[in-house]
Amino acid sequence: MRLDVITIFPDYLQPLDLSLIGTARRNGLLDLHVHDLREHTHDRHRTVDDTPYGGGAGMVMKPEPWGEALDQLTAGDTVPHLIVPGPGGTPFTQQTARDLAQEPWLAFACGRYEGIDERVYEEAAERMPVSVLSLGDYVLNGGEVAVLAMVEAIARLIPGVIGNEQSLVEESHEDGLLEYPVYTKPAVWRGREVPEILLSGNHGAIAAWRHEQRLQRTAARRPDLLSD
């Protein structure tokens, strides 16, 4: 899969050199490029923002550098699916990650300030699929941290990126319930015992206990997952 990230803070994406994602890049499973939006400015101050038409607080990202950066990505025969993280987007879920993991090429546009001039979205949508996606109902300073999370959620679903593929099916959000609690040695730690059933060797009883734990935990922490 090819991934491009456009940002005014390329250093923010440094974590993508590390761990499973970094290894996948070195193994050729991920072809990831980070671009500095300021390379597409042409004034002495490398300006990427300006005051909002109509007034209001803060600054808006200017359209011209974005237009030029996206032109560079769409110069060939194929185009990426453009993802723009934003608190006003469609929720990004495990299903979104599964869908996007099927795509050959994703480009991420990291906004800062109060947002990107709306015409950038309109014009991009005439040339490529565009999705505005939100990680949750809170506000970050920019899209970079959201891109780190989305890239990790998507990339780990690509065959070969994670060593143990079974770990992908046995995890929270893969089947609508949260995961059961897990324990490892020692059997007693600070006076706290591992639930006896896990030491019983009765695999049927263990599976039933784990399912019950998942239901209880989901009801307590995420009742929304059970009702809708």
- What does the binding site for ligand ABV look like in residue numbers (CB under 6 A)? 85-87, 111, 134-135, 138-140, 142-143, 146
Count other Cβ atoms within 10 Å, centred on residue 109. Answer: 28
Q: Are 129 and 82 in contact (CB under 8 A)?
A: yes
Give the phi and the psi of residue 198 in degrees, each rounded to 5: -70, -15
CB of 110 to ligand ABV, least distance (A): 7
The smaller minimum CB distance to ligand ABV, of residues 93 and 102, is found at 93
Smallest separation (angstroms) from ligand ABV to the CB of 171: 23
Helix ranges (DSSP H) in the chain: 19-26, 63-73, 94-100, 118-125, 144-155, 166-169, 203-221, 223-227
CB of 108 to ligand ABV, least distance (A): 10
Shortest reach from residue 142's CB to ligand ABV, in Å: 5
Nearest CB to ligand ABV, comparing residues 141 and 184:
141
Give the nearer residue to ligand ABV in terms of CB position, either 134 or 213.
134
Complete DSSP assignment for 36-79: EGGGG--STT---EEPPTT--SS-EE-HHHHHHHHHHHTSSS--
Residues 6+ apart with CB under 8 A from 81: 100, 103, 105, 106, 107, 128, 129, 130, 131
Nearest distance from residue 213's CB to ligand ABV, in Å? 31
Q: How far is the CB of 80 from ligand ABV (least distance, A)?
A: 18
Give the residue with the Cβ less far from ligand ABV, 24 or 70: 70
Q: Cβ–Cβ contacts within 10 Å for residue 44, how many?
A: 6
Asked whether the beta carbons of 9 and 25 are under 8 A apart, the reply is no
